Structures are given as C-alpha cells and as structure tokens.
Structure 1
Amino acid sequence: MKTPVMQLLRENRGFLIFLLCFGFFRTAIADWNPIPTGSMRPNLLEGDVVLVNRLAYDFKLPLSQIVVARLGDPQRGDIITFSSPTDGTRLIKRIVAVGGDVIEMRDERLYINGEAARYEHETPVREPVAGIGEWPARRVQEQVGGQTRQVQWLDGVHARSSFEPLTVPAGQLLVLGDNRDNSADSRYIGLVPREAVIGRAHHILASADLDGVWTPRLERFGMPLR
C-alpha cells in the first residue's frame, strides 16, 4: 500500500533528483555570489554576481567543511569568498599575503617581503558610499609581489592605513578589499584560516545597477576578474 508521502516522492522524483544534483553542484563544484557592498570597488561593483570555483583549492563533501582532497593552494592576488573568522558571514576579498610572507602597511603603502608597492596612474574619481552619496576618491594601479591591480582610497576617510610587519603563519591568509578605506578585511577581522575559504571568484556572471531600477550592465557580463 502506497502512503501519500511515497506517492508524492514517486510523482516528483525527477524534480527531487534535480534538486539533489543542483545542491551538489552549488556546494561542491561551483557557486555564485552577489556583491552587496562596495568593499571591492573599483573591480567589483554592488549588483555584480560573481562565479565562484569551489574546486580551486579543495574538494569538500557537499554541505560540509570536510576536505576530501587538496587541489591547489591560494595565491597572492586571488579573489576569494570565505567565511569571516569573526561571525561566519560570507565575504569576498583579495589575498594579499599567504603563509610565510612578511607584510606591512605604512601610510597606505604595502610592503611584501621587503618589496615596496608602486602606485601609478592616479586618477581622481567620485565614488558612491552607502548612506552618504558620492565621495571624492583616488584610484591607482598597485604593483607588488608580481601582481598588478587597481585599488582606491576615499579622501578624508580615516581607515587603518598602517600596521606593523607581520609574518603570516602557515595555513593563514591576509586579505584586503580593493576599496581600501571602505573594507572590513584582515585589518579588522584578522587573518583568514585556509579552511574558511569557500572558493576563488574568477568571472562576473551577471551585473545590474542597484541604483538604476536593476538596469542590466551588459558590458560586465562574463568579465574576468583581475
């Protein structure tokens, strides 16, 4: 005799199998992450949805943090999603230093393993700041440790622009937002354990202007992250 539950499962088995496969895919292989804040401006904007490779570093059992196999190591310059060591919130930042690196910041300038970052092509811009409106900012190219990326500072904002030399322990990562004066990163939440890393973000899947009634930003669809 078939119970109502068994009948329901039988009638919807195709959909249930799809949900299981979809859940496995999102929790073990690839995921997408919407960008809610401006901490990674100018490279990631609010309303971007990034594609995250969960197999970039580890293969974990679906719906768990159990590592089945190590597949790679996080590298300087990678943009990663991870669980915040303070409250478990999912964040997205850029790896600036890995285990064994000696890193320091002096008046906004990075030093990695004794190499001072170079800052070129400074451009004044006006950037949106949540709850405030447009704010004057400076956008520059930062070059250090074989990496080049665009970062920015907000004029007149007093963020943590200096810290003493730190040797990053093995299995830990130091992460920063590209929007240096508007980012809750390792200067505030501390180092990120490798096991807290969810995956590496590598492309913008889709994008919409949150201030423009969700107008699609088609030029950002499929854009690789640098």
Structure 2
Amino acid sequence: MKSWMKQNRGFLVFLLLFGLFRTAIADWNPIPSGSMRPNLLEGDVVFVNRLAYNVKVPLTDVVLARTADPQRGDVVTFSSPLDGVRLIKRLVALPGDVVEMRAKALIINGQAARYEALDTALEPAGPVGVLVATHVKESTAQEQHEIQWLAGVAARDTWGPITIPPDQFMMLGDNRDNSADSRYIGLVPRQLLIGRAERILVSADILEKWQPRFERFGRSLY
C-alpha cells in the first residue's frame, strides 16, 4: 500500500486539490428539475462561485468569513433547511424585507412587482401530460427577470406578509407553480448558502437522447 501511494503521489495530490477546489472555491451543478424554468432547463450544468458570499471550512457549513452580501435576483445554490438536499433557486427577499404574494404578484416592502406577458410554450409534465406555460417578465424596483406560470396548477400564490429575519433569505423558483421553494421548505439561513450560480457551462436535452444544446453553452444568468 505504501509503495502504491508513493508511486501515485502526484495523482493523489491532484485529487486532494481538486476536491478542495470543488468544495471551497468553485463547483458545477447539474439542473435536475424544471423548478427554474424558463431560465434553467433540465440538463443544464451551471458554474457556481462558492466564494461569492462566504468562505467555509470544506465539506461543512462552518463560515470562516463573509465575502459579500447576497442580492435580490441572485440565482443561489443552497442546502435545503428541510432535508439538506442541494437546491437552486432565485433570491427574492433579504433580511429586513417585508414580503408577500397576492394572486401570484410578488410584493416587497409595499411595492408590487410589475408583470408583462411574453409568450406561451408547451411543457412536458410527466404523468400529468403537457401543460401550457405562460412566460412573464417580472420587474421589481431592484431587478427584472423572466418567470413562468403553469395553467391549471394550484400553488401557494397568496400568502404573507412576513418579515425576513436577520441572516435569512427567501428563495423562489422561476417556475412559480412547480417549485419546492421557501413557500414550502421555509427561509434559508445564510450558513446554508453554497454559492452564486454565474452561467451555464454546458447543456443537453434529456428528452432528446441527451443531444447538446450548443446555443446554451456559456450563457450568463444575469
């Protein structure tokens, strides 16, 4: 065993450094579900900056230092406060914000978001069949991005108001009617934030025999 380790010392050092890089500095995250449609699709692989918010002890949620504050509109990977599963959602509310939703309309600190219908698309929904997705531009005082609503799907689209406590954040999926987000799993403490998703590295269509979607390669999320 000692002889083998000595012969492969360079490779073992590489594996160690690679592991530290992925757990402490940068990572990539495959998109397993449609909760961030239409901006992220199943089969996308996104680049995640793990130093965007915190420096952590590798493989733990122990924060050594804070590097920057999360911002509304950031696409964030984090560990679910419910069961620890890694999720990716959009950050919509910061500590101190008063947030609510009325008939799908997001309201932050008394200011209702503005909505502009863009187009519609047919979206596969497993055993349910195919649903009509309405793509909408959601604009707040701070930023704007595209979301979607699904016809005939019941979701928590009226709730609040709630005040976000210190060091906690509200996350919502862009696919508002098909996302297990803060409406269901609760607010996300800062120490559970993993990093900020920056761009799509590669993408493949899982419904078309994993054919590459070259037009999505390298696409920025902002």
Partner of 2:50: 54
How many corresponding residue pairs? 222
Q: Any stretches of 5+ residues in structure 2 without a counterpart? A: none
Q: Shift in Å at residue 207 of structure 1?
A: 0.3
Cα offsets for 1:62-118 (capped at 9, x unmatched): 222222211011110000000000100000000000100010100000100111110
Q: Shift in Å at residue 48 of structure 1?
A: 0.2
* Aligned partner letter, 1:130: G
Q: Shift in Å at residue 46 of structure 1?
A: 0.2
CA RMSD of aligned residues (A): 0.9
Partner of 2:116: 120
Higher mean C-alpha displacement, 114-123 vs 24-33 = 114-123
Contact 1:95–1:175 (CA under 8 A) maintained in structure 2:
yes
Cα offsets for 1:25-75 (capped at 9, x unmatched): 000000000001000000000000000000000111222222221101111
Contact 1:38–1:129 (CA under 8 A) maintained in structure 2:
no
Larger radius of gyration: 1
Q: Any stretches of 5+ residues in structure 1 without a counterpart? A: none
Contact 2:117–2:134 (CA under 8 A) maintained in structure 1:
no
Contact 1:112–1:145 (CA under 8 A) maintained in structure 2:
no
* Aligned partner letter, 2:16: L
User: Are residue 41 (structure 1) and residue 1 (structure 2) matched?
Assistant: no
| Counterpart pick for 1:135 among 125, 128, 131 | 131
CA distance in 2, matches of 1:31, 1:124: 33
The structure 1 segments of at least 4 consecutive aligned residues displaced by more than 4 Å after TM superposition are: none
User: TM-score if structure 1 supplies the norm length?
Assistant: 0.96
Higher mean C-alpha displacement, 100-109 vs 61-70 = 61-70
Partner of 1:77: 73
Percent identical:
61
Q: Shift in Å at residue 145 of structure 1?
A: 2.9
CA distance in 1, matches of 2:67, 2:29: 21
